[in-house]
Structure 1
């Protein structure tokens, strides 16, 4: 092989190698731009969950970025309370896409938030109007709740029950003090290591962390928030009659009226107290898929 042919071959390999490096850099750059576009959209949605404008023809480090925001009104397959972000970064002839699906509601916007199924349960807004949209079953995620903080608060208030035998706890009517609040704006917190059983026509108050089941008799009423952190736990009617929760339910387990309604009325005041003290680290939107 002559020197000229050898030199040409080496030069061609150098050109090919350089071209591959440029292509790789271009793909990397466009993908980074698409990812940046997705983050920009998430930040905007964090501030305003109703924002749907997206971005057009933005220039980021030599890349053109376009971002489209869609929800179930645009494509039913996206699902309720979800937004889809499609961000495209283009660098010359190379384009990359990042797709993100986010849940754009907080769990406390619902009267019932369950990781399991919700059966024979009627959810109502704060005015008492029936609204099935306040029921979330098979929740896409569970919120961050300070279980240790709840347990410590219950202990400090001397509201810990059945820690030794894990049997049923039967609170008296108006338990613990006839109010949702322990003192001033501090909510009552009650820990039940076993089952919580509210008997006929009794009303109880406060935030309840229940490690077993919640059994509700005829006209039993909970004025507060029920939190069940175990997937094996259930909230259910123990008799052939309706019961009432005014506040909300957040549970890893099932909610079942067993043929008779558990009426759950959303009460923002109680949710706000719960969030402020024991679940402050939950963003207004939550990413559930990224690709």
Structure 2
């Protein structure tokens, strides 16, 4: 089995899925954001999770799409909160239409996600929806924590890891667990799927923090140094604030408190501070720690080793990514 077969199934289902028709202002934004592409990583993980335990992995396609619709719902609302003008190189929904339409269309997307998740065997609906409800609430908790961090300078590494676990990683864990639930995996294997997804997700987000500073602009797909310019509380900045002393701390504080500055100069100066403190190496160590935890979780799943290898190979692509 190749990941291409899973991706093809996801794309075909995306093309077939109807979200609603009238009024068009409500449903056109949903079709728009779902057409913007993306990695489709979450539904792909669901199908891989199901394939570990059954040849009939196709029955997980529609629920997998429910996870993707929910993910895009969160992006639509996050863009409003962040006042982001661009998503995947195109205008965000609230820019293309308006804030009220984006809020309401996002609400309908959440309903659509539930509709898609209902396409499971009757005896599995309660477990699937119960776990989804907990995950969806945790994603919101993580988003609120991230917003709280915007006005704090005392955010600890542990708080940051917990925030990205909730905001980003628990949905990856659920995506994998969903595949196991649909395929009838044993509870212990489902737990390993979930924990593996969470650990890989934390490593994935830390890698994103790292690439924002040290990535190749041609490969990264967005402005390198954007987090530095915005004083975003990333793992790198939190670690630098914990490590910096004396003149180095004074210089970092100076850049963080300036209201007027040359963007390129700030990125260069703060990156140099990170280099001096060894922040890149510290971050890479943390990334590898979480990825290795995820691989260990996957090894403990009670499934065919060849099928587990497919999942691990995909996860390793996330480790090596440059964009």
TM range (shorter): under 0.3
Q: Which has the higher contact order (CA 8 A, sep 6+)?
A: 2
Q: TM-score, normalised on structure 1? A: 0.28
Structure with the higher strand share, 1 or 2: 1
User: Considering only CA atoms, is the larger Rg found in Structure 1 or Structure 2?
Assistant: 1
User: Which structure dedicates a bigger proportion of its chain to helix?
Assistant: 2
Structure 2-normalised TM-score?
A: 0.25
